[in-house]
A and B are shown apart, each in its own frame.
Chain A
Amino acid sequence: MSELTTLTAAELSAKLTSGEVSAVEATQAHLDRIAAVDGDIHAFLATDSDASLAAARAVDERRAAGEQLGELAGVPLAIKDVLVTTDMPSTSGSKILEGYRSPFDATVVAKARAAGLINIGKTNMDEFAMGSATENSAYGPTFNPWALDRVPGGSGGGSAAAVSAFEAPLALGSDTGGSIRQPAALTGTVGAKPTYGGVSRYGAIALASSLDQVGPCARTVLDTALLHDVVAGHDRHDATSLNHAWPSMAAAARDGVDPASLKGLRVGVIKQLQLPGMQPGVKERFDETVALLTAQGVEVVEIDAPHFEYAVAAYYLILPSEASSNLAKYDSVRFGLRVEPEGGGTIESVMSATRGAGLGPEVKRRIILGTYALSAGYYDAYYGSAQKVRTLIQRDFAAAFSQVDVIVSPTAPTTAWNIGHVNEDPMQDYLNDATTIPANLAGIPGLSLPIGTASEDGLPVGLQLMAPAFEDARLYRAASAIESLITARDGKPFWAQAPSLVSASTGKAAA
């Protein structure tokens, strides 16, 4: 493996800025790494080395011409396939969009390009971001670089695995109920869901409009913050985008590097997020981290959030309802798959046949559920009630943040599970998202960073941090300090402990 792929984005950026490394070299190194390991990982749905190298050359030329470039110019970026791109297909992990080419770039993609980042490829995901394991991708699962028989989490398993497997230092994801944070936890990487509206959703293929938020993934807190700074900000194309003067997340991350910055911080632990089914190794690492914080002079407060027990239920009404409407556009008329029923038929039967054949089981399940929840006679009991629960959860958060600065929880109740493990009852899968869902319902920012491995399986455990809306910088400051504590404890950064590195670099995956 080229040394260039094990650099953090910040380190690579320094070498690019000094001219020690060219964008073409950095891009080629990552393309080589993808060629070497992605057969095992399957993090990518599309790559185009010509397009990536052309973009890299353009950055090198601009730099050579003396142009002042962004800090991340020339750094490769993996892009979740939920984000539309003009230079590569965008499928959202669905057969119904196979080969779809967008005439416009998502705003975050446009911003990344303008900052000189290089699109290195489109990453795998659960179909239309519905899932927690990336096994619902119509194009096959992604494998966890820490253990190839394990899932990388989802829906953004591709982006998390790409970063974890050194195929890219940075990736973009989207988080509707944990799709950035949970895969980060399961792959030992960092991922952030910004405040709702902090990052434009324009060009993010919608799942649930009032919950979706685009955000950054990386191996370190600083890298995540650097990417956050590139993509954040107001966008006239997104009416839910916030017109807010965001402070630099990278500056916050740099501020927080010294763990002494934690002193005096008030940290909440929510009773209701200590799930009964939590894996012992996860709980162990979480408690240990809380102890580390206490040792730094952090005040830890237990918080009661009585309505959190309704969060999953509300989420699985709001998401399917909005999704049932958002996904109606996949009808075979203007783009995407068309399936003609046997013997032809009316447009109505063509639409039904297309959607029957082109949408996967989880997508169908949620569309049907959402259609039901919005139906006349059920709206008040289901969708209407779920929106009220949303209010109650916001109130719980408001009460919590009147006592503490930051809330912590395990990002996920378990470490990565085996690929192919099927719960007969989908509700069991849904309940696993209980820790990450409340932040989406409330619109507040959340971040996951690795805090060690579980003793029983040696797989990564993530810590989730949450802050009030607009206080994303607070997360980066605290996460950076915690990252320093973990690195100091282990004697090396967490990402450097990934076991698959050596064997993967030889082209043979770890078992």
Chain B
Amino acid sequence: MAKTKLMDFDKALELFEPVIGLEVHVELNTKTKMFSSAPNVFGSEPNTNLAPVCLGLPGSLPVVNEEAVKYSIRLGLALGCDIAEVSGFARKNYFYPDMGKNYQISQYDDPIAHDGSVEIELESGRVIHVPIERAHMEEDAGKLNHVGGSTGRIQGAEYSLVDYNRAGVPLVEIVTHPIFGGEADTPEIAAAYVSTIRDIVVSLGISDARMERGNIRCDANVSLRPRGNEGAGMSVLGTRTETKNVNSLRSIERAVRFEIQRQAQLLSEGTAITQETRHWHEDTGETSPGRPKSDADDYRYFPEPDLSPLTPSRELVEELRATLPEQPTLRRRRLAAEWGFSPLEFRDVVNGGLLDDIEATVAAGVPAQTARKWWTGEIARIANERSAVPTDLITPEQIASVVALVDAGTLNDKLARQVLAGIIDGEGTAQEIVDARGLAIVSDDGALIAAVDAALAEQPDVLEKIRGGKMQAAGAIIGSVMKAMKGQADAARVRELVLERASAE
């Protein structure tokens, strides 16, 4: 692929104001699909999670999943949307072999939720309110596997194989209004928005929210308008492109940045932007034009005759509103204040996905900093070693039990790490491991004094240094004692004893 000519990002921003609009698809984690009672499960053998509706079998009919509706309403509420009094389904007609019916059941005129706003916070602390146009329910398509050809991509493939397991998985599509005023932050805004949506759906428990599995997918609309038109609203938007299926936060940021630079270059050369769908290529870091929209301009939407409208009662809406968890952005702000972490520490926690775990660990009685150190330190290290998810290794209660033993003086840090490893390996409770392995600190001064005296006798030169006032030399003696005690000694107490015995003679 020829390298696309790009304008320098800062230069592009001098000349143009970027405007973006984002469409995020969220796969819901209901037990069954949107319109059929087939299982909604990821990673099964191909074509094993199917009911007649998923394949569009003759005579099959869709029926709406009640739980998916509730999830959608909760999501709508979490996005600050109004929930429609009457909401209907419509058919979006186009042929593609990943759709069993060759139409997608979606919502058109009357989405379940509309007119909301999502607050996002950038690294700089800048807060932005992203206006939400609508959130509507629809169904996912199956998956095509392209076989043959050199790249495994669609181009050059000899044939394709269709797996309909994903066909009919419930989706909510969240559509923003155009986002103005992002300026140089625009790429970050796109990523931060998607990240916030991810946090929201995780907090609601309505999606597995794993971007690498496609649980959350983003289409980014980007347009530029020449300087001087700021504040003019939608009336003078530039021609936009829609970059499809950008599926990681980093890619979203890069794709938006790329489009801004590409479009700025073209516009500065006097070339008009083509309104088109573009595809993001992770490998090259570029977007390329998609199939020209031949059918796409005519989806022939009409009300789905097989399904009746939804008229969620206001009682139900309020009932669901009462189940909403704290908004993730607000919650973070609150926890950062409560825990007193530095911004850097807090970001590590968030990026590590450890917010819930630390909160639970604090709730189990562990000081916030101690909880953070365990989760981002030893547990993260073991998880990384074993390619495991930290939360799967240990519970907050188990951590609290180890910390309690440290506080009681039974364990030092090193021993505590051994006990933790024992818990992770399933050897039992902290106390059981301490007992079984004999890991408790030796607090019998007699044994310690003997060990200190032996070490001092073995290293008379060090003893001299200590006596000469070089207190840091005590480290060598402490090390020898700790080694002799197999680590089961309180290093602070050992130090006291070393100084005491060194000066005693």
Contacts and interface: CB of A to CB of B under 8 A. Distances in A.
Contacts of A104: 52, 57, 59
Contacts of B298: 375-376
Interface in A86-107: 90, 92, 97, 100, 102-104, 106
Given A333-B97, A371-B300, A374-B93, A102 B305 contact: no
A348 to B, nearest CB: 7
B63 A329 contact: no
Nearest to A212: B305
B95 A351 contact: yes
Contacts, number: 99
B306 interface: yes
Interface string B287-316: 000000000011011100111100000000
A328 B100 CA distance: 9
B108 to A, nearest CB: 11
A205 B306 contact: no
A102 B300 contact: no
Interface in B96-111: 97, 100-103
Contacts of A351: 95
Contact of A334 (B56, B63, B297, B300): B56
Contact of B59 (A205, A325, A375): A205
A210 B300 CA distance: 17
A239 B298 CA distance: 27
A62 interface: no
A103 B52 contact: yes
A374 B63 contact: no
A379 interface: yes
B52 A210 contact: no
Nearest to B160: A347
Contact of B64 (A239, A371, A375): A239
Contacts of B91: 325
Prevailing SS type, chain A contact patch: loop
B302 A239 contact: no
B6 to A, nearest CB: 33
B94 to A, nearest CB: 9
A282 to B, nearest CB: 33
Of residues A103, A201, A204, A237, which shows the largest number of chain B Cβ atoms within 10 Å of its Cβ?
A237
A240 interface: yes
Contacts of B93: 324-325, 328, 374
Interface in A328-348: 328-329, 331, 333-335, 347-348
A348 B97 CA distance: 9
A331 B61 CA distance: 18
Nearest to B304: A209
Contacts of A204: 59
Given A325-B302, A328-B103, A374-B93, A334 B307 contact: no
A425 B56 CA distance: 34
Contacts of A210: 305
A83 B59 contact: yes
Interface string A185-223: 000000000000000011111101110000000000000
A383 interface: yes
Given A321-B302, A334-B56, A347-B160, A328 B95 contact: yes
A322 interface: yes
Given A322-B305, A325-B300, A90 B95 contact: no
Contacts of A106: 59
Nearest to A383: B302
B459 to A, nearest CB: 81
A124 B307 CA distance: 29
Nearest to A100: B58
Nearest to A331: B102
Contact of A239 (B58, B62, B103, B164): B62
A426 B495 CA distance: 105
B63 A376 contact: no
B59 A102 contact: yes
A331 B95 contact: yes
Nearest to A374: B300
A238 interface: yes
Nearest to B35: A239
A240 B306 contact: yes
A371 B295 CA distance: 12
Contact of A237 (B58, B63, B162, B308): B63
Nearest to A202: B61
Contacts of A271: none
B55 interface: yes
Contacts of B95: 328, 331, 348, 351
Contact of B100 (A84, A324, A329, A374): A329
A501 B52 CA distance: 43
Nearest to A204: B59
B57 A202 contact: no
Nearest to B94: A328
Nearest to B55: A334
A388 interface: no
Most A-side CB within 10 Å, residue of B61, B91, B301: B61
A492 interface: no
A236 interface: yes
Nearest to B102: A328
A329 B56 contact: yes
Nearest to A106: B59
Nearest to B54: A334
B59 A206 contact: yes
Given A203-B59, A351-B95, A333 B162 contact: yes
A97 B59 CA distance: 12
Interface string A61-84: 000000000000000000000011
B275 to A, nearest CB: 16
Which residue of A92, A102, A329 has the most chain B CB atoms within 10 A of its CB atom? A329
Given A239-B308, A331-B97, A103 B57 contact: yes
B103 A325 contact: yes
B61 A201 contact: yes
Contacts of A90: 58-59
Nearest to B295: A348
A329 B59 contact: no
A334 B61 contact: no
A375 B97 CA distance: 22
Given A325-B91, A347-B160, A348-B95, A238 B305 contact: no
Contacts of B164: 334
B427 to A, nearest CB: 51
B138 to A, nearest CB: 16
A201 B302 CA distance: 20
Contacts of B52: 103-104
Contacts of B97: 331, 333, 347
Contacts of B61: 201-202, 206, 237-239
A236 B63 contact: yes
A335 B57 contact: yes
Contacts of B64: 239
Contact of A102 (B58, B103, B306, B307): B58
B191 to A, nearest CB: 34
Given A103-B57, A383-B302, A328 B62 contact: no
Interface string B55-97: 1111111111000000000000000000000000001010101
Interface of B: 52, 55-64, 91, 93, 95, 97, 100-103, 160, 162, 164, 297-298, 300-302, 305-308
12 contacts: A92-B58, A102-B58, A206-B59, A209-B305, A210-B305, A236-B63, A237-B63, A238-B61, A239-B63, A325-B93, A335-B55, A347-B97
Given A84-B58, A325-B103, 4 more contacts: A84-B57, A97-B58, A104-B52, A335-B55
Instruction: Across the A-B interface, give the 3 residue pairs with the lowest CB-CB distance, nearest first.
Output: A328-B102, A374-B300, A209-B305
Interface of A: 83-84, 90, 92, 97, 100, 102-104, 106, 201-206, 208-210, 236-240, 321-322, 324-325, 328-329, 331, 333-335, 347-348, 351, 371, 374-376, 379, 383
